[in-house]
Structure 1
């Protein structure tokens, strides 16, 4: 469900096989540092497609992606990560955005790629956006969970975060966890942990499926459609020429999860109880022979 420009091909080796023992040149920005350090988006992001429809303004502090009948647009991070935390403030397409999809996702390359998705599915005016999340491992996805948001994502900027370590993946909206995908690889569930991923974002037309399963088509009289981005932040194990910037004992966040953080668990339960509108682990029509294995292993 992405433009072809967002993926191609190759496997990368395990993060534990090639640990840097000498120096490693990477541009590291910790998300715990003041956000103002990340304001110059040109230091961290390349506009990758769109023939001028993606632009930076305000001394490169604000990024615009636009979509018209001819093309959408997109950007990607300069860095790749093998575990990490990426976050950005996004203001989505306003008005009648039916048929449009705004994405913010991590992805490796190739047919057997890994991917962690935020996708914002446009709507007709007055109806809520659908926040679509998915996790791919070794080229296999089909792990969709969808939410409505508890605010208007077009009225102001809101923060969206992907947190990924060897124990789990967590999706956050304004620092509230909405979904966790745990690592059950030891029980036979593939988990993204061997391929470096880059951050991508795009605004594109998908009116064959995006809004009410394709019933609502893109109204091109509303074009150009525009989404805005600011305050990008990245932290993690940066991948450079086949090497990870992390060692097994570095970065305490790399080895932690929130299993014992009852406040965060409570927030996630609140989000899912009140705003989740689809969970693949509850779709018996789609999986009449039984749900995927991870659905039975205490994953969210």
Structure 2
């Protein structure tokens, strides 16, 4: 009985370590110096932005397919002009990228959630949403699932967007470049808020965004071996084969009907000569 109790305690303790993680071990500060600080023994990172600089970090590990989750509390108050970015990206001119970008706004006005996909250096696949809560009051979980079937963006486990793998139909999909998780806080008042009409109010600086509970579940990429390795525990995991079921498709449609404010697949003026091929296959 004592041995059984000890085994259970070890399992629970190990599970807790995996769940909470340690940002000191998970990420590297990439720019901003003292504008990026890790607190509470690695459980919290705060990025700051003022007129001198913003800041950013990236995951130590690279993945070729995986799921990333992060709890984020966005810049409070008058955040106009600021962008809090949270995305997966490879490197180089012809890079792949999967974006969450949170575009600040005037006090009391909602944030815009900007999503995009870059494939071989080409983006232009934007969808934008309003959130149905105030993302500055407390932490919310933002997730990117990227597997061989599709990319799914989640907000608190609610799917808001899907980009499907349609390579069999000649449509590009990010499937051959390993990516890291990146996050940053920076000034983009030339476009972020109402197309750049509302500028950053530097009297409200420093602006701050907070991050915690960074979780990853994916196939680690080895640069030296130039291949990915999925742990045996992952090979049958739900994320690797996950697609939206009927219930989650209905949730997705509900969010898009209520909160989507821009969809490139509905922008006839922009695509006057015809929509991109993937637009024929959206849910």
- TM-score (norm. length: structure 1): 0.86
Q: Deviations over 1:168-188 (max 9, x none)?
A: 000000000000000011111
The one of 55, 67, 90 aligned to 1:85 = 67
Using the alignment, how far apart are the partners of 2:171 and 2:17 within structure 1?
Answer: 36
Secondary structure, counterpart of 2:33 in structure 1: coil
Alignment of structure 1 residues 245-256 onto 2, 5 Å: 245-246=229-230, 250-253=235-238, 255-256=240-241
CA distance in 2, matches of 1:155, 1:36: 26
Give 1:29-68 correspondences, 5 Å limit. 33-34=15-16, 37-68=19-50
Corresponding position: 1:131 with 2:109: no
The Cα offsets for residues 89-110 of structure 1, whole Å up to 9 and x where unpaired, read as 0000000000000000000001
Instruction: State whether residues 150 and 243 of structure 2, in contact with CA within 8 Å, keep that contact through their aligned partners in structure 1.
Output: no
User: CA deviation digits over 1:194-240, x for unaligned, max 9?
Assistant: 00000000000000000000000000000000000000000010102
Aligned to 1:257: 242
**What does residue 239 of structure 1 align with?**
221
Counterpart for residue 291 of structure 1: 275
Query: Deviation at 1:152?
Result: 0.2
Q: Is the 1:166–1:254 contact (alpha carbons within 8 Å) kept by the matching residues of 2?
A: no
SS of corresponding position for 1:268:
helix
Partner Cα distance (1:40, 1:218) in 2: 33
**Separation in structure 1 between the aligned mates of residue 88 and residue 240 of structure 2, nearest angstrom:** 20
Whole-angstrom distance in 2 between the partners of 1:62 and 1:255:
28
User: Which ranges of 4 or more aligned residues in structure 1 deviate by more than 2 Å?
Assistant: 33-39, 246-249, 251-255
Name the CA distance, whole Å, in 2 between partners of 1:117 and 1:108: 12
Partner residue of 2:9? none
Ranges in structure 2 where 5+ consecutive residues have no aligned partner: 1-14
| CA spacing shift, 1:198–1:36, aligned 2, 3 Å | closer
Supply the RMSD in Å over aligned alpha carbons: 1.7
Tell me if the contact between 2:27 and 2:58 (Cα under 8 Å) persists in the aligned partners. yes
Cα displacement string for residues 131-177 of structure 1 (whole angstroms, at most 9, x for unaligned residues): 00001111111000000001000000000000000110000000000
**Closer/same/farther in 2, CA of residues 65 and 110 from structure 1, 3 Å limit:** same
Q: If you compute each CA radius of gyration, which structure gives the higher value, 1 or 2?
A: 2
- 2:265 corresponding residue in structure 1: 281
- Whole-angstrom distance in 2 between the partners of 1:254 and 1:172: 13
Structure 1 gaps, min length 5 = 1-32
Structure showing the higher helix proportion among its residues: 2
Distance 2:86 2:179 in 1: 13
Residues 25-69 of structure 1 show CA distances to partners (whole Å, capped at 9, x for unaligned) of: xxxxxxxx5476434211111111102100011112110000000
| TM-score in terms of structure 2 length | 0.91
1:1-300 paired onto structure 2 within 5 Å: 33-34=15-16, 37-241=19-223, 242-246=226-230, 250-253=235-238, 255-259=240-244, 261-296=245-280, 298-300=281-283
